Amino acid sequence: MATNKKSSEEDVARYRWEVAGRCLIAVFGGYLFTIALSIFLTQVLPIAKSSAVMTANLLSFAIYTIAIIWVFSVKEFRQLWWGLTGSAIFFAFILLLV
Protein backbone atom coordinates (compact mmCIF):
# COMPACT_ATOMS: atom_id res chain seq x y z
CA MET A 1 0.00 0.00 0.00
CA ALA A 2 2.67 2.49 1.01
CA THR A 3 5.51 3.49 -1.29
CA ASN A 4 7.94 0.62 -0.85
CA LYS A 5 10.65 0.11 -3.43
CA LYS A 6 8.90 -2.68 -5.27
CA SER A 7 5.68 -0.85 -5.87
CA SER A 8 5.13 0.04 -9.46
CA GLU A 9 4.44 3.50 -10.78
CA GLU A 10 0.77 2.66 -10.87
CA ASP A 11 0.75 2.02 -7.14
CA VAL A 12 2.48 5.32 -6.50
CA ALA A 13 -0.04 7.14 -8.65
CA ARG A 14 -2.93 5.44 -6.86
CA TYR A 15 -1.39 6.24 -3.49
CA ARG A 16 -1.16 9.90 -4.45
CA TRP A 17 -4.76 10.03 -5.63
CA GLU A 18 -5.82 8.42 -2.38
CA VAL A 19 -3.92 11.00 -0.35
CA ALA A 20 -5.56 13.80 -2.34
CA GLY A 21 -8.93 12.13 -1.88
CA ARG A 22 -8.44 11.75 1.85
CA CYS A 23 -7.46 15.42 2.16
CA LEU A 24 -10.64 16.50 0.37
CA ILE A 25 -12.85 14.15 2.37
CA ALA A 26 -11.17 15.22 5.63
CA VAL A 27 -11.57 18.94 4.94
CA PHE A 28 -15.02 19.05 3.35
CA GLY A 29 -16.63 15.84 4.57
CA GLY A 30 -15.26 16.46 8.04
CA TYR A 31 -16.67 19.98 7.97
CA LEU A 32 -20.09 18.77 6.86
CA PHE A 33 -20.12 16.24 9.68
CA THR A 34 -18.94 18.85 12.22
CA ILE A 35 -21.63 21.37 11.33
CA ALA A 36 -24.32 18.67 11.23
CA LEU A 37 -23.37 17.24 14.64
CA SER A 38 -22.96 20.72 16.17
CA ILE A 39 -26.38 21.87 15.00
CA PHE A 40 -27.82 18.55 16.15
CA LEU A 41 -26.39 19.25 19.62
CA THR A 42 -28.00 22.70 19.70
CA GLN A 43 -31.35 21.00 19.10
CA VAL A 44 -31.09 18.17 21.62
CA LEU A 45 -29.14 19.60 24.57
CA PRO A 46 -31.65 20.16 27.37
CA ILE A 47 -30.42 23.68 28.21
CA ALA A 48 -31.31 27.21 27.11
CA LYS A 49 -30.93 27.75 23.38
CA SER A 50 -28.10 30.29 23.63
CA SER A 51 -26.20 28.04 26.04
CA ALA A 52 -26.67 25.05 23.76
CA VAL A 53 -25.37 27.06 20.79
CA MET A 54 -22.32 28.18 22.75
CA THR A 55 -21.65 24.62 23.92
CA ALA A 56 -21.82 23.39 20.32
CA ASN A 57 -19.54 26.26 19.26
CA LEU A 58 -16.98 25.25 21.87
CA LEU A 59 -17.09 21.59 20.87
CA SER A 60 -17.10 22.11 17.10
CA PHE A 61 -13.32 22.24 16.59
CA ALA A 62 -12.84 19.12 18.71
CA ILE A 63 -15.45 17.31 16.59
CA TYR A 64 -13.73 18.49 13.41
CA THR A 65 -10.35 17.30 14.67
CA ILE A 66 -11.66 13.85 15.53
CA ALA A 67 -13.36 13.60 12.12
CA ILE A 68 -10.12 14.52 10.33
CA ILE A 69 -8.09 12.07 12.41
CA TRP A 70 -10.60 9.35 11.57
CA VAL A 71 -10.35 10.00 7.83
CA PHE A 72 -6.58 9.58 7.94
CA SER A 73 -6.63 6.56 10.24
CA VAL A 74 -9.02 4.36 8.26
CA LYS A 75 -7.06 1.60 6.52
CA GLU A 76 -9.18 0.96 3.46
CA PHE A 77 -10.01 3.96 1.30
CA ARG A 78 -13.39 2.42 0.40
CA GLN A 79 -14.53 2.60 4.04
CA LEU A 80 -14.42 6.38 3.76
CA TRP A 81 -17.38 6.38 1.40
CA TRP A 82 -19.54 5.13 4.24
CA GLY A 83 -18.42 7.99 6.44
CA LEU A 84 -18.94 10.53 3.70
CA THR A 85 -22.38 9.22 2.70
CA GLY A 86 -23.43 8.99 6.33
CA SER A 87 -22.33 12.58 6.94
CA ALA A 88 -24.22 13.82 3.90
CA ILE A 89 -27.43 12.07 4.96
CA PHE A 90 -26.97 13.36 8.52
CA PHE A 91 -26.46 16.89 7.17
CA ALA A 92 -29.57 16.68 4.99
CA PHE A 93 -31.54 15.42 7.98
CA ILE A 94 -30.33 18.39 10.06
CA LEU A 95 -31.31 20.82 7.31
CA LEU A 96 -34.83 19.39 7.42
CA LEU A 97 -34.86 19.57 11.21
CA VAL A 98 -34.11 23.28 11.59
Partner 1 sequence: MKNGFRQSMAWLHTWTGLVVGWVLFFVFVTGNLGRFDTEIDQWMKPEVIPQAVPLAQEISAAQQRLTQRGAGAERWTIYPATNRDTPYLRITWDTEVKPGQALKRGEEFIDPSTAAPLDTRATGGGQLLYKMHYALAYMPRSVSNWIIGICSMFMLVAIVSGVITHKKIFTDFFTFRPNKGQRSWLDLHAVLAVLTLPFFFMITYTGLLFFLSTLVPGIVGANYGFGEKNRQQFNDELAAREYRLERAETQVPLVSLNQITAEAERRWGEGQVRSVEIHYPGDQHAQAIVTRQIISPLRSTEELVFNATNGELITEQPATTAAPRTFYETVQGLHESLFAGWWLRWLYFFSGLAGVAIIGSGLILWIVKRRPKQLKQAEGPDFGHRLVEGLNVGTIAGLHTAIAAYFLANRLLPVDLPARNEWEVHVMFIVWLIALLHPVVRPINRAWIEQLWVASAAFLLLPFVNAITTGRDLFQSLQQGDWVFAGFDLVAIATAILFAIAAVKLQQREQQQINAPVKTKVNRVAQEANA
Q: Return residues touching partner 1 (CB under 8 A).
A: 1-2, 18-19, 22, 34-35, 38-39, 42, 48-51, 53-58, 60-62, 64-65, 68-69, 72-75, 94, 98
Tell the smallest beta-carbon distance from residue 94 to partner 1 (Å). 8
Nearer to partner 1, 61 or 89 (CB): 61
- In whole angstroms, give the CA distance from residue 85 to residue 89: 6
- Residue whose C-alpha is closest to residue 41's, from 27, 23, 59: 59
Tell the smallest beta-carbon distance from residue 25 to partner 1 (Å). 11
Nearer to partner 1, 61 or 82 (CB): 61
State the CB neighbour count (10 A cutoff) for residue 34: 23
- In whole angstroms, give the CA distance from residue 62 to residue 60: 5
